[in-house]
Amino acid sequence: MARDFNVKNLYLYLVCLVTLFLFIGGAISAVNSSMQLALPEKPNVSLVNVYYPEYREGLDEPLFNPPSLEELESMRAEQEEMELYYLSYTWRSLLGSIALVIIATPFYLYHWKKIKPDRTEGGRGA
C-alpha cells in the first residue's frame, strides 16, 4: 500500500534529509580535522628567510647580509605563535564537527521514527 504524502510527511522527510546531510558533513569534517591533528600540515612560513647573494659589480659591499639575532628571534616567536594558532584552530574545528554529528543524530532518529511508525510497532502484516 502506498503512503499518502501530506504536508506532515513532506516536512518529516525534509528534516531527515537535512539532518542526514549535516551528519555526513560533520563526519567528513571530523575525519579531516583528526587527520590534520595526526599528520599536521604546517603553514608555509619559513623560520629563516634565505638571502641569496646578488650579483654586484663592486666588491666593497657584502654579498650576504644575514639577519640580526633579534630579528631571527622575533621570526621564531612569530612562527611559534602561528603554529599554536593553527593547532588550536584545528582542535576547535574537530570539536565543532563532533558537536554537529552529536546534535544531528537525535534529530534524524526522532523524525525518522515519526515517518516509520509501523516498523517500530511491528505493524507490517503479511
Give the chain's domain count: 1
Inside any domain, residue 88: yes
pLDDT band at 98 (very low <50, low <70, confident <90, very high): very high
Model pTM score: 0.66
Average pLDDT along the chain: 80
Inside any domain, residue 53: no
CA-nearest of 98, 120, 116 to 108 is 116
Inside any domain, residue 110: yes
CA-nearest of 85, 93, 92 to 43 is 85
> What's the CA gap between 86 and 84, in Å, rounded?
5
Give the pLDDT of residue 47. 45
Cα–Cα distances (Å) from 124 to 1, 16, 55, in that order, read 11, 22, 86
Question: Is pLDDT of 90 > 90?
Answer: yes
Cα 105 from chain centroid (whole Å): 19
pLDDT in tens, 42-80: 655 454 444 444 544 555 655 566 778 888 888 889 888
Question: Is pLDDT of 15 > 50?
Answer: yes
